[in-house]
Amino acid sequence: MIFQRFSLRVIFGYFRKKGKNLRSLLIIGAGEVGKDFYDALVFNPQFGYRLVGFLDDKSKTFLNGKYLGKIDDLDSVLFRHQIDDVIIALPNYAMERIESVINTCGRYTTSVQIIHDYFKFYKFPVMGTFIIFVC
């Protein structure tokens, strides 16, 4: 069973690097957390995501044409595009916005995942210090 799982992971990783078997992804929030997640996707094509774009209340220069509009435009973006997954990368204090996004995605049966912004509470004064979060 271990060999089977490993084999499937290798096979899917190969096809995903070639642009096959990808899930479409929309990122809500283009702040530091959203940008870091986007960078991780670019660096790891084996994750199997194709970025459709970002929604944020402010257009960012690093988005390279992937800015699709404001967060309030989510309903129309989900209607126009085939989105498999939505990643919410909004600050923790934006709970009302997060709830609104979840409700809108629920009407389209779109999977929603939330990236928590815990790293803003920690300072890393010494190089080589690692903090591991287990959720």
| Extents of the domains making up the chain | 2-121
- pTM score, whole prediction: 0.76
Nearest to 85 by CA among 64, 108, 68, 62: 108
pLDDT of the residue at 118? 61
User: 2-121 has which fold?
Assistant: Rossmann fold (3.40.50)
pLDDT of the residue at 24? 92
User: In which order are the strands placed within the sheet that holds 85-88?
Assistant: 67-69, 49-55, 23-28, 85-88, 111-114
**Rg of the chain's alpha carbons, rounded to an integer?**
17
Cα–Cα–Cα angle for 95, 98, 100, nearest 5°?
Answer: 110
Instruction: Return the biggest CA–CA distance within the chain.
Output: 48
Nearest to 90 by CA among 26, 133, 27: 27
Q: State yes or no: pLDDT of 133 exceeds 50.
A: no
Residue ranges in 18-73 assigned as alpha helix (H): 32-43
pLDDT digits (tens, 9 = 90+) for 16-53: 677 677 889 999 998 888 888 888 888 888 788 889 99
pLDDT of the residue at 119? 55
pLDDT of the residue at 127? 40
State the CB neighbour count (10 A cutoff) for residue 3.
Answer: 7
Q: In the chain, helix, strand, coil percent, each to 5?
A: 45, 20, 40
